[in-house]
């Protein structure tokens, strides 16, 4: 039975127009005897297909890749809290997690460098150097950041940091035989801290980009400053006494003998 009793076929969706006539999906008038026809005031309109769904032609940005990468890593290997709770995981999973972490850290570093190059240097704020003043001694250990308590089940209290420099790893000679599968379990807490550091770098990427942009700006400013006139050669000459001899118009002691004329 249709939604309007006495009209249409079972399960058919019908509607009533402004004049009270029953219409079907094709806008035809449906009679009680089952007849269907177009009324005389019907105006034919061409079929308009639905607009195609817009597809993205450009590749996802580096930050979008990092977010998707981090979500896949957590879904595949576990949240940092889970890794801390497990403490040890299988060595094979530990190796795979290390590969994922290094690739994700590479993507985040590239994203920070790309964002820092696009930052306008004039918009950055450089704090002037401040004179160090002695601080009053802390009333308790909780007042000192390095002694604040951390909780295993709360990653927000962990003391982690994301580094832009890549540690150098010793190159190993290629193995002739296939690499055997490790059997012992390994600790996963260091990887949990690195995952939490990546999460902070992704969530607070604007601060990381501006910090790295200020670092690059300071490096450029330091490289653009002229070098002092007194160089190492002058200092060495002054120590050896050559500078005083040249000032007096005399050749240095180890100069080659030249015959006059």
Burial of 171 (0-12, 13-18, 19+ CB in 10 A): exposed
- Cα–Cα nearest to 195, from 122, 113, 89: 89
Contact 158/193 with Cβ under 8 angstroms? Answer: yes
Average pLDDT in the 27-38 region? 83
Taking the model in full, what pTM does it have? Answer: 0.57
pLDDT at 105 over 90: yes
**In this predicted model, what pLDDT tens digit does every residue of 219-251 receive, in sequence order?**
877 777 765 655 445 545 544 554 444 554 555
Contact 34/42 with Cβ under 8 angstroms? Answer: no
- Helix locations, the chain, DSSP H: 62-77, 80-86, 91-118, 189-203, 205-224, 232-240, 242-247
> What distance in Å separates the CA atoms of residue 12 and residue 24, rounded to the nearest whole number?
8
Average pLDDT in the 47-69 region? 79
Contact 200/156 with Cβ under 8 angstroms? Answer: no
**In this predicted model, what pLDDT tens digit does every residue of 63-81 receive, in sequence order?**
999 999 999 999 999 999 8
Contact 135/101 with Cβ under 8 angstroms? Answer: no
Token digits of residue 238: 């002054």
Q: Which residue has the tokens 């399960």?
A: 11
Contact 127/218 with Cβ under 8 angstroms? Answer: no
For residue 214, CA distances in Å to 109, 180, 226 come to 16, 46, 21
CA dihedral for 223, 225, 230, 234, sign (positive or negative): positive
Is 73 or 155 the better-scoring residue by pLDDT? 73
> What distance in Å separates the CA atoms of residue 163 and residue 105, rounded to the nearest whole number?
9
The full set of domain ranges for the chain reads: 1-41, 62-121+142-162+183-221
Tell me which H or E stretch contains 16: strand 15-16
Residue 143 has what DSSP assignment? G
Give the confidence band of 181 by pLDDT, cuts at 50, 70, 90: low
């Amino acid at each position: 039975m249709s939604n309007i009793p006495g009209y249409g076929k079972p399960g058919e969706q019908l509607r009533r127009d402004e004049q009270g006539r029953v219409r079907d999906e094709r806008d035809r008038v449906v009679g009680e005897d089952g007849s269907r026809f177009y009324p005389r005031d019907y105006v034919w309109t061409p079929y308009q297909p639905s607009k195609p769904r817009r597809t993205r032609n450009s590749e996802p940005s580096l930050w979008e890749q990092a977010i998707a990468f981090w979500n896949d890593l957590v879904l595949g290997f576990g949240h940092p809290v889970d890794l801390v709770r497990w403490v040890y995981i299988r060595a094979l999973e530990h190796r795979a997690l290390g590969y994922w972490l290094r690739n994700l850290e590479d993507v985040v570093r590239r994203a920070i460098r790309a964002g820092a190059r696009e930052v306008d240097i004039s918009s950055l704020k450089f704090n002037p150097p401040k004179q160090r003043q002695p601080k009053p001694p802390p009333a308790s250990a909780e007042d000192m950041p390095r002694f604040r308590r951390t909780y295993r089940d709360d990653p927000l209290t962990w003391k982690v940091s994301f580094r832009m420099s890549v540690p150098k790893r010793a190159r190993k000679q290629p193995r002739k035989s296939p690499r055997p599968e490790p059997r012992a379990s390994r600790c996963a807490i260091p990887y949990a801290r690195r995952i939490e550091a990546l999460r902070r770098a992704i969530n607070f990427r604007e601060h990381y980009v501006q910090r790295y942009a200020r670092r690059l700006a300071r490096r450029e400013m330091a490289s653009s400053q002229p070098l002092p006139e007194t160089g190492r050669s002058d200092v060495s000459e002054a120590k050896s006494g050559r500078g005083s001899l040249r000032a007096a118009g005399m050749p240095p002691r180890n100069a080659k003998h030249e015959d006059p004329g």
